[in-house]
């Protein structure tokens, strides 16, 4: 039999998608080639192992989708938007121009854009007054006199204010230094007294604390040492008792052994006395 199933057939069999006729044929093939069946069973094992990988949990994020109609897409497309925005800007300009009435003129290389009303081209104004009321010298003199007056006024005012300030400063300094001196004296006296009282109080407190501590500690130590002594004596007594008991048991066991030994010796002696002929033999048997 030259039948040999291809991979496609084997996979169909593995997933139970093979028709009855093909399945029978394949099963017959497996009977003759058990190694192929075991190979397929190994693939089933692989499938079982693959099942261990679980799905990852995920939450669908909101996906915003635009409407499907072509019309809305057309209006929302970028080109249309750009063209519409340019058209709207022009329209706005036209309306504004209509309202404020612009005028654009170009003359002698100069472009002028004006709104509402045409402004006349400004020309440099040159006034030629034939009879000036004041001469330049007179004006200069007026300026000079006013400056001198002003300077004098400022100087006097400055001097007066300077004197006032100096006087007030001296007064303030004198009064402040006097106050500071007074304060310093008061504080130094007060601090010396306070330090003395504080130190004295501290010493007293410390002394009291030490006394209390010593009293307490001596009392505690006494109790502790007494307890310790009592415990130690109890321990010693107990130890002694145990030693005595041990000694007694040892003694009694020695006594017992001695008695037994005595008894055995007596028995041996008795047997020797009873059978004087066999003694030598028995001894030799040992």
Partner 1 sequence: MAGTLLDIAMMHSDALITRAREGDKNAQGKLVQLWYKRIYNFSYKFFFDHDLAMEVSQKTFISMHRNLEGLQEVTRFRSWLYTIAINNCREELRKRKANRSVSLHDLRPGESEESFAWEASSGRGENPERQLRQSELSDLLQQCLMELSDEQREVVIMKEYEGLKFREIAEALRISENTVKSRMYYGLDGLKKILERKNITKETIGYEL
**Residues of the shown chain interacting with partner 1 in the complex, contacts defined by CB under 8 A:** 6-8, 10-12, 15, 17, 42-43, 45-58, 60-61, 63, 65, 68
Taking a C-beta distance cutoff of 8 angstroms, is the pair 26, 15 a contact?
A: no
Our CB check for partner 1 shows the closer of 8 and 127 to be: 8
Our CB check for partner 1 shows the closer of 47 and 282 to be: 47
Taking a C-beta distance cutoff of 8 angstroms, is the pair 99, 93 a contact?
A: no
Query: Nearest approach, Cβ of 62 to partner 1 (angstroms)?
Result: 9
Query: Nearest approach, Cβ of 48 to partner 1 (angstroms)?
Result: 6
Our CB check for partner 1 shows the closer of 56 and 285 to be: 56
Query: Parallel, antiparallel, or unpaired for β 102-107 and 110-115?
Result: antiparallel
Our CB check for partner 1 shows the closer of 10 and 37 to be: 10
Our CB check for partner 1 shows the closer of 58 and 104 to be: 58
Query: Nearest approach, Cβ of 74 to partner 1 (angstroms)?
Result: 16
Our CB check for partner 1 shows the closer of 46 and 274 to be: 46
Query: Nearest approach, Cβ of 52 to partner 1 (angstroms)?
Result: 5
Nearest-angstrom CA–CA distance, 61 and 128: 84
HSE-CB at 69 with a 13 A cutoff on CA atoms is 4
Query: Nearest approach, Cβ of 38 to partner 1 (angstroms)?
Result: 12
Query: Nearest approach, Cβ of 78 to partner 1 (angstroms)?
Result: 18
Query: Nearest approach, Cβ of 97 to partner 1 (angstroms)?
Result: 45
HSE-CB at 106 with a 13 A cutoff on CA atoms is 2
Our CB check for partner 1 shows the closer of 47 and 163 to be: 47
Q: 106: which strand partners?
A: 111
Query: Nearest approach, Cβ of 105 to partner 1 (angstroms)?
Result: 56
Our CB check for partner 1 shows the closer of 55 and 122 to be: 55
């Amino acid at each position: 039999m030259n039948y040999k199933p291809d991979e496609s057939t084997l996979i169909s069999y593995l997933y139970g998608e093979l028709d009855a006729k093909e399945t029978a044929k394949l099963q017959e093939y497996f009977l003759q080639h058990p190694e192929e069946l075991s190979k397929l069973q190994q693939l089933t094992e692989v499938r079982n192992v693959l099942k261990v990988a679980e799905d990852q949990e995920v939450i669908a994020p909101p996906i915003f989708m635009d409407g499907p109609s072509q019309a809305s897409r057309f209006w929302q497309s970028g080109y249309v938007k750009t063209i519409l925005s340019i058209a709207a800007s022009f329209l706005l300009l036209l309306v504004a121009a209509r309202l404020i009435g612009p005028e654009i003129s170009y003359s002698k290389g100069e472009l002028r854009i004006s709104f509402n009303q045409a402004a006349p081209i400004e020309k440099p104004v040159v006034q030629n007054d034939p009879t000036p009321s004041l001469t330049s010298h007179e004006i200069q003199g007026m300026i000079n006199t006013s400056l001198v007056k002003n300077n004098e006024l400022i100087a006097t005012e400055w001097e007066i204010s300077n004197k006032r300030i100096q006087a007030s400063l001296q007064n303030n300094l004198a009064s402040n230094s006097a106050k500071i001196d007074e304060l310093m004296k008061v504080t130094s006296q007060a601090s010396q007294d306070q330090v003395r009282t504080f130190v004295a109080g501290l010493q007293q407190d410390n002394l009291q604390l030490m006394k209390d501590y010593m009293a307490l500690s001596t009392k505690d130590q006494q109790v502790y040492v007494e307890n310790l002594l009592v415990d130690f004596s109890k321990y010693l007594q107990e130890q002694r008792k145990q030693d005595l008991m041990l000694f007694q048991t040892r003694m009694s066991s020695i006594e017992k052994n001695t008695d037994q030994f005595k008894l055995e010796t007596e028995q041996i002696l008795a047997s020797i006395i009873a059978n004087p002929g066999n003694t030598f033999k028995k001894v030799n048997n040992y």
